[in-house]
Copies of this chain bind each other. A is one copy, B any other.
């Protein structure tokens, strides 16, 4: 809802805004919001300061655009997993294994931008910290929403609440992001994910409808 080629006249841009945004996203992902200076952005994006400010208003707006792009391009696996027509446990498994992949992509910074972007900030950047927190909370809420459907179908482990279990799973994902930052490999994160899923026995409930997982059943599909 923005770059719809208005072209209301005037001198045309001499660069590709999306490519520039990608370069900025990678830099923010690597160094975080505050530690990424305009000088670094200028070099990585191949632009002059006025070009950056004309196209993206200011540094904070550029960062928020990068967050949105990251959400759309780099972690679409999450929405896919939570919306997949599979049982609840398998959906969460896809989510965690997707995170293991996404947090260790070759050529990309390790971990998740929503965490690396900023955890502790200066008071001036509180708004940015809040925006990142909102993305993290949204992830947890997405997990909770998927779990709620599984809860109704009796698919959750005994002794957990939807919110509590969502907080555990979101916490595991956050922990995976830090482990990725600290050099963990894809395989190590996948093993971590499988261990985390061991709290959840594959065979649930007395209703032993285990076969045909790709078939109908207590699924979900927003």
Residue positions of A touching B, CB distance < 8 A: 29-32, 34-37, 109, 111, 115-117, 119-123, 125, 133, 136-137, 157, 159-160, 164-165, 167-168, 170-176, 178-179, 181-182, 184, 188, 191-192, 195-196, 198-199
Bound state CA distance, A159 and B195, in angstroms? 9
Centre residue among A115, A165, A182 by max chain B CB count within 10 A: A182
Given the complex, which residues of B lie within 8 Å of A175, measured CB to CB?
170-176, 178
Considering the complex, give the chain B residue whose CB is closest to the CB of A165: B195
Q: Which 7 A-B pairs have the closest CB atoms?
A: A175-B175, A171-B175, A32-B120, A35-B122, A198-B199, A174-B178, A174-B175
The listed residue (B123, B133, B192) touching A164 by CB distance below 8 A is B192
Given the complex, which residues of B lie within 8 Å of A120, measured CB to CB?
29-32, 35, 109, 116-117, 181
Bound state CA distance, A178 and B115, in angstroms? 8
Q: Given contacts A31-B121, A34-B35, could you give 7 more A-B pairs where the C-beta distance is less than 8 Å?
A: A29-B120, A35-B121, A115-B119, A116-B120, A164-B192, A173-B175, A174-B179
A188 near B164 with CB under 8 A, answer yes
Given the complex, which residues of B lie within 8 Å of A171, measured CB to CB?
172, 175-176, 178-179, 192
Given the complex, which residues of B lie within 8 Å of A182, measured CB to CB?
133, 136-137
The listed residue (B115, B137, B168, B174) touching A196 by CB distance below 8 A is B168
Bound state CA distance, A174 and B111, in angstroms? 13
Considering the complex, give the chain B residue whose CB is closest to the CB of A163: B188
